[in-house]
Amino acid sequence: MTTARAVLLLACIMGLPAAGKTQRNPTNADTPLSIEELRLYGDFLDSFVGTHGGSESVGLSERTVPLILDPGDADGCLKGIGLTIAKAEEQHSQPFPASITAGRSVNLVDPSKSKITQMPGGLLSLSEIRFDDDHRFAVFTFKLVRAGASGLFYMRGGTIALRKTNGKWIETNPSCSRWIT
């Protein structure tokens, strides 16, 4: 009986570090993205979809894309933040869970199997989110591609830089690049 208690106690002690790690970086069971990353993406979707085009549903790429910064952003609006950005080929795209669309005019799509001309709201891609070492700053990019009535494509995108203040993520520098073509 004493041996069984000792084994049980040892198993509990060995499991504590793993439990602590899970609590520091909680994830959603449907995706390897953390709850914090999903919250940042969700906040962006709420603000973007609400201002870009009314009731048309936007197709959201079902996976993140690599974070590739405009050189002007890396040397300008993000200077001094201390972000380490991996090369595109070293980044791994992550799937969005279906729950990311809940309550939003957004539907997940596989860009390789979808035609932008059949998505009235366009196709929105979101990059991986990168945090600084202290987890006080976050950055990601977005790109929306839409087909116009004339058959030409319209693109809009930019870099979003955020700072965590009093537990809330707030856009730090609206001077990060935003573009329309």
Q: Give 142-159 pLDDT, tens digit per residue.
A: 999 998 878 788 999 999
Inter-residue contact 155 to 166 (CB < 8 Å): no
Q: 47 vs 42, 70, 92, 105, CA distance in Å? A: 9, 23, 26, 12
Identify which of 127, 137, 147, 143 has the alpha carbon closest to the alpha carbon of residue 178: 143
Dist. CA 49–CA 57, nearest whole Å: 8
Can you give the pTM of this predicted structure?
0.77
Percent over 70 (pLDDT), the chain:
77
pLDDT of residue 86: 72
More confident residue, 58 or 148: 58
CA dist 138 and 24 (Å) reads 17
Average pLDDT score over residue span 67-78:
78
